[in-house]
Amino acid sequence: MSNLTPGQIAMQRRFERAIGLASPFLDAVLGVGERISRIAEPNDHEYYPIRPGGRVALPGEPGYDADSDLAITPPPPERRPDTD
């Protein structure tokens, strides 16, 4: 990476200062937005939590079971090649 000119350094510092000054306001906006979204729709039906390992059917896919949606299922056993 090449060296920055004094003008570029000054501009970088201005941007960093502006971002630093705006960050508390932006954090507040995100916090208020999160609260409003939780009040408006407490249960997010489009949220899919991360599931560890293995293939899990999602809503709308064949094999999806709403009752066991949050259950952690063990991965299928590994297939070993037949040795003759």
The answer to whether residue 67 is domain-embedded is no
The per-residue pLDDT for range 5-43, each reduced to its tens digit, is 999 999 999 999 999 999 999 999 999 998 998 888 877
Within a domain: 21: yes
- Nearest 5°: CA angle at 22, between 13 and 20? 40
For residue 22, what are the domain limits? 1-42
Q: How many domains does the chain have?
A: 1
What is d(CA 76, CA 68) in angstroms, rounded to the nearest whole number? 16
- Residue whose structure tokens are 């502006």: 18
Q: How many whole angstroms separate alpha carbon 58 and alpha carbon 76?
A: 17
More confident residue, 82 or 60: 60
What local confidence, expressed as pLDDT, does residue 5 receive?
Answer: 94
- Tens-place pLDDT, residues 38-81: 888 877 777 766 655 666 677 777 777 666 655 555 566 677 66
Q: Is residue 13 a part of any domain in this protein?
A: yes
